[in-house]
Amino acid sequence: MEESEKYGLDEKGSSRRKFLRNSGVAAGGVVVGSVLGGLIGFGGEKQHQAPKTEHEHAAPAANPNAALMFFTPDQYQTTIAATERIFPADENGPGAADLNVAIYIDHQLASPWGINAKDYMLGAFYKAEATQQEQVRILRKDLFLLGLKGLDDYSGNKFDSKFTSLEGEQQDEILTEFENGEYKLSGVSSSIFFDLLRILTIEGAYADPMYGGNKDMEGWAMRKFPGSRMNYNNEVVSKEFIELEPESLQSHMGH
Amino acid sequence: MSTKLPKVPAVIVGMGWAGGIIASELTKAGIKVVGIERGKERTTNDYLMGHDELRFQHRTELMQDLSKETITHRNDPNMRALPMRSYGTFIVGDGVGGAGSHWNGQTYRFLPYDFEIKSLTEEKYGTNKLGSEYTLQDWGITYDEIEPYYDTFEKMAGISGETVEMYGHRSNPYPTGPMVKTPTFELFEEATKKLGYHPYMLPSANLSENYTNPDGISRSACQYCAFCENFGCEYGAKADPVVTVIPVAKETGNLDLRTHSNVTRILNDGTKATGVVYVNTITGEEFEQPADVVIVTSYVFNNVRLLLNSNLGTPYNPETGEGSIGKNYCYQVSAGATTLFYEDKAFNNYAGAGALGIEIPDFAGDNFDHSDVNFIHGSGIRMTQYGNRPIAINQVPSGTPSWGAEFKKQSIKYANSTLQVKSQGASMPHKDNYLDLDPEYKDAYGMPLLRMTYDYTEQDKELVKYMSKVTRKIAEKIGADHYETTEEQATFNVNVDTNTHNTGGVIMGADSKTSAVNSYLQMWEAENVFVIGASAFPHNSSFNPTGTIGALSYRASEGIIKYLKDGGGSLV
């Protein structure tokens, strides 16, 4: 027992214990997750209810996050239009436009990820074989703008219009050609841009709302994903599907 | 100019599972140890904002910064190797805890067959079963010899599981009982039993119950929160060096842990090491740390690279088969799988844990007869429940476009309505699959990158074809509205997600001509250098590697303590 106290993470390292201390819950003896989870609001019956089904578009509450730090207003509009075709509004719920996916993308491209900060960018960029990774020297932030410009240029050539002014089917036609690498951007295949656009759209729909997209966690709610809860002891053994209201990382603050 | 520091008995390069275990064992024995780690310091508090799929899984927060160092890859010796510029197929851990922080926690033992694979295969199937281009080797240690070390590792980590009759004998049961059996696992269990197989709950380092280990470390049970793989565990339920061996080593007062320190060279005269040179990754300052023993415990890739960049040991030559550093690089084959789609059933697959799974042992190792097939060894056939995260998992029936209205509709429809029966297969060494130094590309410190020459072999492809059929058979027995089976192993592609079970390059064995280290992981060509990790595996089994890395680390610790006490000499 002395050994246990000597190295016991209960005292030294357990963040769970700190949760409890900070929550003012007296914790004596053995830690049992489900019980405490209920006590400190990470689970429990009251949350086993269906999420709202109506997606109200109330007047935007002040959301200082929904502003541009990278795009120009025109680039932002083109991004909204393109991402909405990739992830459109339908009977399931909002599409990329209403989920603020373009805000998410704006913020990502302004981040260190936008300048490939953790990628290997040294040495020569040779043409890759099919089984090797594409060797792209262009930074993501530049590639994305190159792609947006490409969408507008190609729309102009083909339909004599800006991308944002096209009909949905026309936009799909352009995006499909980009996906297939049929339009040449300077220095890179349009398919590389399209892949970036597609993955950023999925991320913007489903990443934690603190990143700017997945507005009001409606991306998660559509697919009945509960976000980032602290335990699923009941759900993991339940034969019935349990729909939980999503919670974001903000619910972990202060613990 | 490097600053020369006072000499210490032991210096450890890399503070993941291997480095952490060895630090813990040596410091408990009263030996002063310097532990060098290129990444940052970590405690469980750091994991509190951990349920972030974007940051940890897709922006690889816990992984090595590729802008500083990566690998290059080519499929065969006639290609030009190109750098892996961002993560695709495997991820490389970084920081205190290493891969032991971001792992899933699946903690198997390898089979008795694995350790004597060459002898046992030849005994049963003759000498030509695979052909001479497959450089199969025995490990220089038997299952019976390594068993006590597995037992020690499992007790330290508190592995949760159940005894499997078709695997090697156990001196003790698992220290904690198996994880919960989910409703979908009951479907798998029933189906596989009907087919005459022997399902068992996968051995897990995500604790099934509260547990206090022999070092006195107490950890609480898994909450099935579904953030294991790529994430740290804020509960400390997932065994991680950060919540097990590192605090024990620190408590002794004998561990001098230096983070943000990247070892670039092992100083040596060709037969003995004198210490290491490392760079502070923040300030750029260079230090020389002399030591009696140099213990190399970084990831597979860097273990090999550090030896090659330090001119330690004899590099493998694929033309002649001579030399050992870089030899027998292996991976795993996981392509064979069947996805089950349901029209009107939903499962709580957002819940889960990294080592929550059920598996059959019937197609592992030599548990089935290979006389009529063109491969040896086999696969674990399993169903797992890690927790389906929404950016990563968007299962749609084949033929569905990858974007647009139909993609959205189908991916949401099936978000909670698919299951998968999958396989993870063993990987046999081939003379043309190896690691060496890249002739062109360098890391941020000007040292050559490691070059991987690797592709899947005929053995791999035959194995996958066979195992994919087994996954289909089980899936159909379970029953679904629609099935999709991947039947073939495609060409190796550094972009395509498989797993991080890279092995080999500093392999162990009984013969100094064909291996790099002995059964205590002591280098044949430099007796005071020990190289520990999956780099020591002469081939890769179908199981996740960490259990075996843990066992080898305890064995190496024993050897290093003896070596220091005896004042040198070969341990075998």
Query: Under an 8 A CB cutoff, do B223 and A33 touch?
Result: yes
Quote the pLDDT of residue A252. Answer: 87
Is A35 within the bounds of a domain?
yes
Is A64 within the bounds of a domain?
no
Helices (H), B164-216: 183-194
Query: Under an 8 A CB cutoff, do A90 and B408 touch?
Result: yes
- Which of B208-234 are b and which e, b meaning 16 or more Cβ less than 10 Å from the residue's Cβ? bbbbbbebbbbbbbbbbbbbbbbbbbb
Quote the pLDDT of residue A46. Answer: 36
Residues A209 and A237 in one domain: no
Which residue out of B408, B449, B497 would a mutagenesis test of the A interface target, given it has the greatest number of A Cβ atoms within 10 Å?
B408
Q: What residues of chain A lie within 8 A of the CB of B232, using their CB?
A: none
pLDDT tens profile B261-297: 999 999 999 999 999 999 999 999 999 999 999 999 9
Query: Under an 8 A CB cutoff, do B219 and A9 touch?
Result: yes
Quote the pLDDT of residue B475. Answer: 98
Quote the pLDDT of residue B362. Answer: 98
Quote the pLDDT of residue B290. Answer: 98
Distance separating alpha carbons of residues B438 and B72, to the nearest angstrom: 7
Question: Is the pLDDT reported for residue A39 higher than 50?
Answer: no
* Bridge partners of residue A93, in order along the sequence: A90
CB atoms within 10 A of CB A120: 23
Quote the pLDDT of residue B89. Answer: 84
Q: What are phi and psi of B558, to 5 degrees?
A: -60, -45
Q: Which two tokens stand for residue B197?
A: 């197989």
- Arithmetic mean of pLDDT, A225-238: 96
pLDDT band of A60, cuts 50, 70, 90: low
Question: Is the pLDDT reported for residue B102 higher than 80?
Answer: yes
Chain A residue with Cα closest to B51: A228
Q: Single out the catalytic residue among B377, B430, B501, B539.
A: B501
Question: Is the pLDDT reported for residue B481 higher than 60?
Answer: yes
Query: Under an 8 A CB cutoff, do A241 and B346 touch?
Result: yes
Q: Who contacts B520 (Cβ-Cβ below 8 Å, separation ≥6)?
A: B530, B555, B556, B558, B559, B560, B571, B572
Closest CA to B361 of B206, B476, B175, B203: B203
Q: Could you write out the three-class secondary structure of B277-340? A: EEEECCCCCEEEEEEEEEEECCCHHHHHHHHHHCCCCCECCCCCCCCCECEEEECCECCCEEEE
Largest Cα separation within chain A, whole Å, is: 80
Number of domains in chain A: 2
Distance separating alpha carbons of residues B572 and B563, to the nearest angstrom: 11
A210 near A248, Cβ under 8 Å? yes
What is the number of residues in chain A?
A: 255
Distance separating alpha carbons of residues B494 and B505, to the nearest angstrom: 18
Option in A123, A208, A224 nearest B440 (CB)? A123
Quote the pLDDT of residue A168. Answer: 97
* Bridge partners of residue B35, in order along the sequence: B12, B257
For A146, the domain range is 73-222
Residues A168 and A85 in one domain: yes
Q: Which two tokens stand for residue B50?
A: 């951990």
* Bridge partners of residue B526, in order along the sequence: B523
Q: What residues of chain A lie within 8 A of the CB of B408, using their CB?
A: 87-88, 90, 92, 95
Quote the pLDDT of residue B497. Answer: 72
Residues A235 and A143 in one domain: no
Is A175 within the bounds of a domain?
yes
Query: Under an 8 A CB cutoff, do A235 and B348 touch?
Result: yes
Closest CA to B234 of B40, B51, B20: B51
- Arithmetic mean of pLDDT, A24-46: 33
Which residue out of A18, A101, A120, A135 would a mutagenesis test of the B interface target, given it has the greatest number of B Cβ atoms within 10 Å?
A120
Q: What is the value of ipTM here, to two decimals?
A: 0.96
Distance separating alpha carbons of residues B341 and B400, to the nearest angstrom: 13
Residues A190 and A160 in one domain: yes
Residue holding tokens 């080592």?
B355
Residues A25 and A42 in one domain: yes
Q: What residues of chain B lie within 8 A of the CB of A233, using their CB?
A: 223-224
Q: What residues of chain A lie within 8 A of the CB of B450, using their CB?
A: none
Residues A235 and A132 in one domain: no
Query: Under an 8 A CB cutoff, do A119 and B225 touch?
Result: no
- Arithmetic mean of pLDDT, B115-135: 96
Q: What residues of chain B lie within 8 A of the CB of A116, using their CB?
A: 67, 85-86
Q: What residues of chain A lie within 8 A of the CB of B356, using their CB?
A: 236
Q: What residues of chain B lie within 8 A of the CB of A220, using their CB?
A: 390
What percent of chain B stands above pLDDT 70?
100
* Gyration radius of chain B's alpha carbons: 23
Residues A45 and A112 in one domain: no
Distance separating alpha carbons of residues B168 and B164, to the nearest angstrom: 8
Closest CA of chain B from A225, distance in Å? 7
Compute CA distances B453 → B71, B161, B401, B456, B541, whole Å.
Answer: 11, 37, 34, 11, 20
Question: Is the pLDDT reported for residue A241 higher than 60?
Answer: yes
Q: What are phi and psi of A93, to 5 degrees?
A: 150, -165
Quote the pLDDT of residue A59. Answer: 54
Query: Under an 8 A CB cutoff, do A13 and B243 touch?
Result: yes
Option in B67, B248, B391 nearest A202 (CB)? B391
Distance separating alpha carbons of residues B9 and A218, to the nearest angstrom: 58
Q: What residues of chain A lie within 8 A of the CB of B223, using their CB?
A: 33-34, 37, 230-233
Compute CA distances B255 → B8, B36, B258, whole Å.
Answer: 11, 10, 9
- Arithmetic mean of pLDDT, B345-368: 98
Query: Under an 8 A CB cutoff, do A85 and B404 touch?
Result: yes
DSSP codes, A43-74: S-GGG-SPPP-----PSPP--TTSS-SSS-HH
Q: What residues of chain B lie within 8 A of the CB of A126, using their CB?
A: 80, 82
Is residue B381 helix, strand or coil?
strand
- Arithmetic mean of pLDDT, B193-202: 98
CB atoms within 10 A of CB A64: 5
Q: Considering Cα of B293, then B294, then B297, then B303, what sign does the dihedral take?
A: negative
What is the number of residues in chain B?
A: 572
Chain A residue with Cα closest to B234: A15
Quote the pLDDT of residue A17. Answer: 40
Query: Under an 8 A CB cutoff, do B494 and A131 touch?
Result: yes
pLDDT tens profile B16-44: 999 999 999 999 999 999 999 999 999 88
Option in B65, B82, B234 nearest A132 (CB)? B82
Closest CA of chain B from A64, distance in Å? 21
**Size of the A and B interface in Cβ pairs below 8 Å:** 238
Distance separating alpha carbons of residues A177 and A172, to the nearest angstrom: 9
C-alpha neighbours within 13 Å on the C-beta side of residue B296: 35
pLDDT band of A61, cuts 50, 70, 90: low
Query: Under an 8 A CB cutoff, do B223 and A123 touch?
Result: no
Option in A85, A230, A241 nearest B225 (CB)? A230
Is A66 within the bounds of a domain?
no
Residues A92 and A216 in one domain: yes
Question: Is the pLDDT reported for residue A48 higher than 80?
Answer: no
Distance separating alpha carbons of residues A108 and A212, to the nearest angstrom: 9
Question: Is the pLDDT reported for residue B112 higher than 60?
Answer: yes
Largest Cα separation within chain B, whole Å, is: 71
Distance separating alpha carbons of residues A79 and A61, to the nearest angstrom: 23
Q: Is B501 a catalytic residue?
A: yes
Which residue out of B71, B225, B406 would a mutagenesis test of the A interface target, given it has the greatest number of A Cβ atoms within 10 Å?
B225
Residues A146 and A21 in one domain: no
Quote the pLDDT of residue A13. Answer: 38
pLDDT tens profile A74-133: 999 999 999 999 999 999 999 999 999 999 999 999 999 999 999 999 999 999 999 899
Which residue out of B235, B252, B281 would a mutagenesis test of the A interface target, given it has the greatest number of A Cβ atoms within 10 Å?
B235
Question: Is the pLDDT reported for residue A51 higher than 60?
Answer: no
- Arithmetic mean of pLDDT, B434-451: 97
Q: What residues of chain A lie within 8 A of the CB of B53, using their CB?
A: 206-208
DSSP codes, B83-116: E--S-SS---B-STTTHHHH---B-PPPPHHHHT
Domain extents for chain B? 3-42+61-566
What is B3-42+61-566's CATH number, 3.40.225.10, 3.50.50.60, 3.20.20.150, 3.40.50.2000?
3.50.50.60
Closest CA of chain B from A156, distance in Å? 23
DSSP character for B56? I
Compute CA distances A16 → A25, A30, A41, A79, B220, whole Å.
Answer: 11, 12, 13, 42, 9
Query: Under an 8 A CB cutoff, do B408 and A123 touch?
Result: no
Chain A residue with Cα closest to B445: A122
Option in A120, A135, A211 nearest B66 (CB)? A120
- Arithmetic mean of pLDDT, A193-209: 98
pLDDT tens profile B507-528: 999 999 999 999 999 999 999 9
Distance separating alpha carbons of residues B7 and B10, to the nearest angstrom: 9
Q: Which two tokens stand for residue A226?
A: 């509960």
Is A61 within the bounds of a domain?
no
Residues A25 and A90 in one domain: no
Question: Is the pLDDT reported for residue A6 higher than 70?
Answer: no
Residues A197 and A130 in one domain: yes
Is A248 within the bounds of a domain?
yes
Query: Under an 8 A CB cutoff, do B215 and A3 touch?
Result: yes
Strand pairing report for B526-531 and B286-296: parallel
Residues A132 and A38 in one domain: no
Which residue out of A1, A131, A180 would a mutagenesis test of the B interface target, given it has the greatest number of B Cβ atoms within 10 Å?
A131
pLDDT band of A66, cuts 50, 70, 90: very high
